[in-house]
Amino acid sequence: MRMEISVIIVAVENDKKLLPRCLKALKLACHKAGLKTETIVVANATSLSLPVNLKKGIKILNLSENGGLGTAVNSAMETVKNKWVLLLCPDVELKDNSLKILIKETADRIGIIAPRILINDQTQETILPIPSLWQIFLEQSFLYRLFPSIFRLPFSDKLLYQKKQKVSAAAAICWLFQKKAYRLAGGFDERFFLYFEDVDLCRRIKRAGFEIIYQPAAAAFHFPHASTGGQTDGSLYVKSLKKILGKYHNQLYVILSLFIFAFGSLIRLILWSVLGNRKKINFLTEAIRESLFISR
């Protein structure tokens, strides 16, 4: 009997051009793995019209408002029927053997399996640290860059991406996750519109007793920023950072963390002002401004 998985793809207006390519690659990967699927495409505050050759067997869930990735996935999860669910960004194309490799890792103790993500054949840094005072200090002091062999963070230690291993969190670009783990953890926290919603859910899935596996033998290509047009929001980033810190730590811990973050961002702002990188200047300016409003 062929294994069946559910697939959830959340698409906003800017995703429409890449969605057909994503679905074609998904179809090929499922065929290669011998998988049957139910596919739910969440039209997040947009309307979708799929080509005839792709829309067979696909259910479109229309949401009138964009409440973020977490809200969209939670809505789709109300209807999924299979034990394992593939969460896939529409700007991702699976390699044809990726699902065949990922499904070999499925087991009752596994909560999430994440593949290697490639951007122009370079590995994207998708293993994520859990935000903490110490982790923020390492990043903002540049110690993790200066001494990567001592202070091993996934943003500087490339060796972490070479082998299959258990990780604390993985970016929700492409996940194969177990429905039971998702539900026991309580699903996505819808207070996060963007940034850290995946880290927060990973943390709760691990607390529920499941493992998160990074499997680099499986791979997918990522065409990032398709949904945002390359724009990032420093203010929204810090708001989400505040939320995740405040969710697990006291107010003094949050204040100290944000002070270190703001100080490090100020140093970077001076650097990027000299180099003239307008996008990073805008992001850091917004982030510093937001980090000063501790009580919000």
- Tens digit of pLDDT for each residue in 121-132? 899 999 999 999
Whether the pTM exceeds 0.85: the reply is: yes
Nearest residue to 245 (alpha-carbon basis) of 234, 236, 232, 258: 258
How far apart, in whole angstroms, are the C-alpha atoms of residue 38 and residue 210?
A: 24
Residue 177, pLDDT > 70, answer: yes
> What average pLDDT does the segment 237-263 reach?
94
pLDDT for 122: 92
Angle, helices 197-207/69-77, rounded to nearest 10 degrees: 50
More confident position, 234 or 257? 257
281 contacts: CB under 8 Å, gap ≥ 6: 269, 272, 273
> What average pLDDT does the segment 138-145 reach?
85
More confident position, 88 or 143? 88
Q: How confident is the model at residue 150 (pLDDT cuts 50, 70, 90)?
A: confident
Q: How confident is the model at residue 277 (pLDDT cuts 50, 70, 90)?
A: low
> What average pLDDT does the segment 174-197 reach?
97
Mean pLDDT of the chain: 90
Nearest residue to 55 (alpha-carbon basis) of 96, 122, 9: 9
pLDDT for 294: 54
> What average pLDDT does the segment 268-295 reach?
73
In the chain, helix, strand, coil percent, each to 5?
A: 45, 20, 35
More confident position, 1 or 141? 141
Looking at domain 4-128+167-222, its CATH class is: alpha beta
Percent of the chain with pLDDT over 70: 94
More confident position, 16 or 104? 104
How far apart, in whole angstroms, are the C-alpha atoms of residue 138 and residue 194?
A: 23
More confident position, 207 or 294? 207
pLDDT for 19: 92
CB atoms within 10 A of CB 244: 22
pLDDT for 149: 77
Do the beta carbons of residue 235 and residue 286 sit within 8 Å? yes
Nearest residue to 240 (alpha-carbon basis) of 197, 176, 272, 275: 197
Least confident stretch, 37-41, 157-161, 236-240? 157-161
Domain map (residue ranges) of the chain: 4-128+167-222, 234-291
**DSSP state letter for 135:** H
Residue 240, pLDDT > 60, answer: yes
Q: How confident is the model at residue 151 (pLDDT cuts 50, 70, 90)?
A: confident
CA 103 remoteness from chain centre: 20
Residue 292, pLDDT > 80, answer: no
pLDDT for 174: 98
> What average pLDDT does the segment 20-37 reach?
95
Residue 215, pLDDT > 80, answer: yes
How far apart, in whole angstroms, are the C-alpha atoms of residue 71 and residue 69?
A: 6
How far apart, in whole angstroms, are the C-alpha atoms of residue 99 and residue 202?
A: 21
Residue 218, pLDDT > 90, answer: yes
More confident position, 43 or 293? 43
Residue position matching structure tokens 């970016």: 171
